[in-house]
A and B are shown apart, each in its own frame.
Chain A
């Protein structure tokens, strides 16, 4: 491979792309298995991604048979019965172990009445700052501000990635025995908390290398959020009442089941206001401590959310709190392409929660568990592969040619137009929340046109180039999303078809999709299991 002057070139065993919970757990776990590891993050490993500015409840369940069975059953139906017990068991087991490991590393869990640590949730800034420390201690090389733009592969499979450092402008390539994609989900640049680095890059890079996706119809999570703000923390809205401007109540509106009522009102141009007036007095100080960042925007605007109604909107979080992602081919999070692994929101979460994640806990559990599975899988793969003698003839896999600074063909304004065009198809509630075949077909046609526009354009190794590439990833993600959503002619999990209300037992399968220019979709049976009680 020709190496540019002034480029950074590294060789390693395992390359992890993305440094959120999934990527950091993958890096630490691979390193613990003896692999040399490089981790590249688009932002900064420790502050970037959906968890870091936020915080997550975690699916932490003691290894007690009854408790675990209850935990598994709690969301099974909501998710449209697409989860698998085998995977739920493994994730519950690994999450339990990893949370205990976090305590060992020094995460400051609160104490319960008996003085034991209470390990049910993680504060994002604290958790991710600790993970960075642990990753560094494990000897992992971290590349911050280093988005991967494309994978490198040969006939044996994936063997690295290439990108650019957005602060120095220096392109980088990392040749690796195995690559873990942990780039998070796709929230379509909607400015949901921490999510603007999550543009579906991993899906596109994986698909370009030949990987498949699963559950992309479960990609339309919308979060309640004050209209003026980015803080899409939703748990506390279980204490909210919803009102119109004139103070009359919005019938049926709610946080969990009544989001569609809020959406319908917003669509009709009727502003909805929330106020957390159902919160009992004695809980208020506890709520304030529990999620400091929930209150931050209110405090700074002089709003008391317990008494003052504030306008709300529903902000798209796409697959971040959806469940679709890269299809996994085995228990160690291998994808359908040799040498390529996926974890966290980048991988499908249907295996543990089907087509719906609801409020917290499952996502965080999935990120840390699948991250460590993938780290193990990648390290084992590299061992089997044997020593790298540098003789692999790796090719760049990007659909769009990625070129040196000054040689590209995309103006920044053009990339911004693409982003806007994708958002126009995916954000509106009457397109993506209340889905119909007719409207989705129109969107898909326009998105296909948009892809054709973008696929030939040369992308530069620059900050603006990265944005153009993000736009392409968003377009690709939206196309897989609507392709799958059109194929599922029923309502299941978070996928709601206005023209096909209700679940159809004949469609109790997962939908696998893929392709770049020509997209395809096919059903895959959910593994039949004996459920032991």
Chain B
């Protein structure tokens, strides 16, 4: 489930409010959005992909809140890690075009 919005990183663009399919976030006037309906989170990781500054963290646990802190996550390199792997963000190449996609399909049929 969604666990963290980084206050220091968030630029209040409200992209996460827009893209979350289950409407977990709530816009705040003159502020950064809040996680208003955490239990509605479906752990789809889409908000992380759309956040332009890697200010969000979705924990893999889908049924329970685990309570992690931003500093722990940053240390482990988890903030923004998924977006990097998918190849979204300036100067990155989408993983969709990665040569391994073809290699994998050729060798294993996936």
| Interface positions of A (Cβ within 8 A of B) | 42-44, 46-49, 52-53, 57, 107-113, 118, 120-123, 125-126, 144-145, 166-167, 191, 193-197, 228-231, 235-236, 283, 285-287, 289-290, 292-293, 296-301, 463
Instruction: Check if B31 is an interface residue, CB within 8 A of chain A.
Output: no
- Residue from B95, B106, B110 with most neighbouring chain A CB atoms (10 Å): B110
Q: A229 and B23: CB pair below 8 A?
A: no
- Which B residue sits closest to A227, measured CB to CB? B63
- Residue from B42, B63, B108 with most neighbouring chain A CB atoms (10 Å): B42
The 8 Å CB contact of A194, one of B44, B50, B86, is B44
Q: B63 and A191: CB pair below 8 A?
A: yes
13 contacts between A and B (CB under 8 A): A47-B20, A48-B21, A52-B44, A108-B96, A110-B98, A113-B102, A121-B105, A229-B60, A230-B43, A231-B60, A283-B108, A286-B108, A290-B104
Q: B21 and A44: CB pair below 8 A?
A: yes
Say whether, besides A145-B23, A283-B104, A292-B86, A53 and B95 are in contact (CB < 8 Å): no
- Which A residue sits closest to B78, measured CB to CB? A300
Tell me the dominant secondary structure on chain A's binding face.
Answer: loop
Which residues does chain A contribute within 8 Å of B97, judged by CB atoms?
108-111
The 8 Å CB contact of A286, one of B27, B78, B88, B104, is B104
The 8 Å CB contact of B94, one of A111, A123, A236, is A123
The 8 Å CB contact of A230, one of B27, B44, B85, B98, is B44
Q: How many angstroms from the CA of A118 to the CA of B100 in the assembled complex?
A: 11
Instruction: Check if B30 is an interface residue, CB within 8 A of chain A.
Output: no
Q: B61 and A228: CB pair below 8 A?
A: yes
Instruction: Check if B107 is an interface residue, CB within 8 A of chain A.
Output: yes
Q: Nearest-CB distance from A129 to chain B (Å)? A: 9
The 8 Å CB contact of A121, one of B19, B46, B94, B101, is B101
Which residues does chain A contribute within 8 Å of B61, judged by CB atoms?
228-229
Q: Nearest-CB distance from B58 to chain A (Å)? A: 9
Instruction: Check if B22 is an interface residue, CB within 8 A of chain A.
Output: yes
Q: Which 7 A-B pairs have the closest CB atoms?
A: A43-B21, A297-B60, A108-B97, A48-B21, A196-B42, A230-B43, A230-B62
Q: Nearest-CB distance from A316 to chain B (Å)? A: 14
**Besides A121-B110, A230-B43, 18 other A-B contacts (C-beta < 8 A):** A46-B19, A108-B97, A110-B96, A110-B99, A111-B99, A113-B102, A118-B105, A125-B88, A167-B23, A228-B63, A229-B61, A283-B107, A286-B103, A286-B108, A287-B108, A289-B98, A290-B101, A293-B82
Which residues does chain B contribute within 8 Å of A301, judged by CB atoms?
60
The 8 Å CB contact of A289, one of B49, B50, B95, is B95
Q: How many angstroms from the CA of A110 to the CA of B63 in the assembled complex?
A: 36
Q: How many angstroms from the CA of A166 to the CA of B22 in the assembled complex?
A: 10
Which residues does chain A contribute within 8 Å of B74, judged by CB atoms?
none
Q: B82 and A287: CB pair below 8 A?
A: no
Which residues does chain A contribute within 8 Å of B53, judged by CB atoms?
none
Which residues does chain A contribute within 8 Å of B85, judged by CB atoms?
292, 296
Q: How many angstroms from the CA of A109 to the CA of B98 in the assembled complex?
A: 8
Which residues does chain B contribute within 8 Å of A194, judged by CB atoms?
21, 42, 44
The 8 Å CB contact of B46, one of A47, A167, A229, is A47
Q: A125 and B43: CB pair below 8 A?
A: no
Q: A43 and B22: CB pair below 8 A?
A: yes
Instruction: Check if B18 is an interface residue, CB within 8 A of chain A.
Output: yes
Q: How many angstroms from the CA of A144 to the CA of B22 in the assembled complex?
A: 11
Q: How many angstroms from the CA of A285 to the CA of B103 in the assembled complex?
A: 11
Q: How many angstroms from the CA of A296 to the CA of B82 in the assembled complex?
A: 7
Which residues does chain A contribute within 8 Å of B59, judged by CB atoms?
300
